[in-house]
Every structure is written in C-alpha cells, then in structure tokens.
Amino acid sequence: MRKTVNGISINYEQKGSGDLIVLLHGWGSNIKLFANLIELLSRKYTVVAMDMPGFGESEEPPSAWCVDDYVQFVIDFLKDYDTKQVMLLGHSFGGRVIIRMHARENLPFEVTKVILVDSAGIMPPKSNKKSWRTRYYKLGKAFLSTKLMQKIAPDALENFRKKMGSADYAAASPLMRQVMVKVVNEDLEPYLHLIKCPTLLIWGVNDTATPLSDGEKMEKLIPDAGLVKLENAGHYSFLEQQFTFNRVMCSFLKIED
C-alpha cells in the first residue's frame, strides 16, 4: 500500500481490526522484517507498519532529518486514523522515535502501551580509542574538504567517510548519512522518565549494537517498565528467538496463543 505524507511517498502495510498498534522499524531496515509480527498482532488489533522516509520502498526525506522530524512524520501519518489511543512498538531506531515522541506535549492521541525491542537511544560512553578516532576523522575530513584536495582528489573525502564510518553509514545515501549523524548523536536518556504508560522492553542478551545494559538502564528510568531478556539472541531478537518473542507479545497484549 502507498500514500503520500507531506509530499513524501510512503510504503506501508495495514492488517486486522481493533485498537491501533503502530510498528516502527530499525535503521536500514523495512517493514518486511515485521511480516510475522504483523500476522500475529492482526489477530486482535489493527496493525500499521510503514517504511519510514529514507528506508525500504519509501522516498527519502526532503532534508537531513533529526529524530524529532521522524516523530512529526509518524504523527502526520496517523492523522488519517480516527483514533484517540495508540500502542507503539519500535525496534532499534524505531525505539528512538517512540522515546522522543514522549517529549512532545499535547500529542493528538494517547499512547497506551509501548514496546521497545533492542531499542537505541542511550549514548555509549566514549572510550579513549573512540575519542581518538573521532578527532582523527574530524582532522581528515577538514583536510580532504579543502579546495586543493577536492581538486586533486575529488573522491578522497567520500572514500575516507566510507572507510571511517559503520556498515550502515557506508550503505546509506549521502542524505541519509547526514540523517544518521544527527540521529546517533542525540541522547534520549533524559526523555525516558516521560514514558508513563506500561512499557515492555525486549532485549537480546547478545546484542552488541544496543547492549543489554541499555535495556537495563531503560527499565530503571521508565516508571512502569519491565525487561524481558532473550537468550541466544542479538540485535534482531524478534527474529532470532521468534517463538519466545511471540509468546511474550501474546502475554503483554493479551492475544490468545
């Protein structure tokens, strides 16, 4: 399915009936990974999952968005739905959007339940090695951005960025790389206490992208939160331990197994 939101063509899926639950995917991902989850949740709920701007089959945003821009996008996307209550599930980057949304006053709907799966949002402590790498990157970027180097080696800056960046950074378009820089440098920890509704945290014990310690910190800072740890699972715990994950979801959302 497709619709246009603020001039951006969006790919999305909707299935089921009942109360509305919205699924937000992770960075570099898309709604295809939610196929099993959509099938499960649609037994009881109206499930909506969209490829957010810049991901999957949706168009890129018009500029380098920050997390709050994605919050506004989700709010605008949901304007077509005649509902005053929404449940939200976010994996990784999708969790960032949900956390940041709770900093908004006067949302047009009430968030009744939140599910954060291997969510991003906690800033990792900077090690000496990482601090050195950051300084090296800034110096290299400044040097390769000079007019002389741009003339001598026009591709050097882009190659340097790819070498120094993560796999996600290298795979992204130039615009989405700017988005990524903004997103990963935003610390969302100060907003966690604003999530007042019942919150389920599900984490892969072996997650290295957003480590289990992030989930443990979120459990302490979110007033009504509970953490479920999935053994033998990493950052995509909802796929790696699908059976157990689904059982947890059925319990929290009161879906007949």
Do 31 and 105 lie in one domain? The reply is: yes
In the structure, what pLDDT confidence band is assigned to residue 147 with cuts at 50, 70 and 90? confident
Do 107 and 227 lie in one domain? The reply is: yes
Identity of the residue numbered 195: I
Rounded average pLDDT over 82-109: 96
In the structure, what pLDDT confidence band is assigned to residue 150 with cuts at 50, 70 and 90? confident
In the predicted structure, residue 39 carries a pLDDT above the cut 90: yes
In the structure, what pLDDT confidence band is assigned to residue 124 with cuts at 50, 70 and 90? confident
Do 112 and 133 lie in one domain? The reply is: no
Do 119 and 132 lie in one domain? The reply is: no
Rounded average pLDDT over 15-42: 97
Rounded average pLDDT over 101-118: 96
E strand or H helix at 97: helix 93-101
Rounded average pLDDT over 50-78: 98
- Tens of pLDDT, residues 191-219: 999 999 999 999 999 999 999 999 999 99
Percent of the chain with pLDDT over 70: 86
Average pLDDT, the chain: 90
Give CA–CA dist 235/209, Å, rounded.
6
Do 40 and 149 lie in one domain? The reply is: no
Do 201 and 153 lie in one domain? The reply is: no
Per the structure, the count of domains in the chain is 2
Percent of the chain with pLDDT over 90: 76
- Tens of pLDDT, residues 222-246: 999 999 999 999 999 999 999 999 9
Report residue 23 as tokens: 């699924």
From 147, 166, 181, the end of a domain falls on: 181
Do 162 and 47 lie in one domain? The reply is: no
> Given this model, what pLDDT does residue 238 score?
97
Give CA–CA dist 109/101, Å, rounded.
11
Do 94 and 159 lie in one domain? The reply is: no
> Given this model, what pLDDT does residue 153 score?
72
Q: Which domain holds residue 75?
A: 2-123+187-253
In the structure, what pLDDT confidence band is assigned to residue 137 with cuts at 50, 70 and 90? low
Contact yes or no for 23/93 (Cβ under 8 A)? no
CATH number at residue 7: 3.40.50.1820
Rounded average pLDDT over 138-158: 68
Contact yes or no for 12/3 (Cβ under 8 A)? yes
If we measure between CA atoms, which residue out of 32, 15, 19, 11 comes closest to residue 77?
A: 11
If we measure between CA atoms, which residue out of 237, 195, 245, 238 comes closest to residue 220?
A: 195
Do 80 and 24 lie in one domain? The reply is: yes
In the predicted structure, residue 125 carries a pLDDT above the cut 80: no
Contact yes or no for 201/218 (Cβ under 8 A)? yes
Do 214 and 239 lie in one domain? The reply is: yes
E strand or H helix at 129: helix 128-144
E strand or H helix at 85: strand 85-91
Do 237 and 165 lie in one domain? The reply is: no
Do 152 and 218 lie in one domain? The reply is: no
> Given this model, what pLDDT does residue 151 score?
75
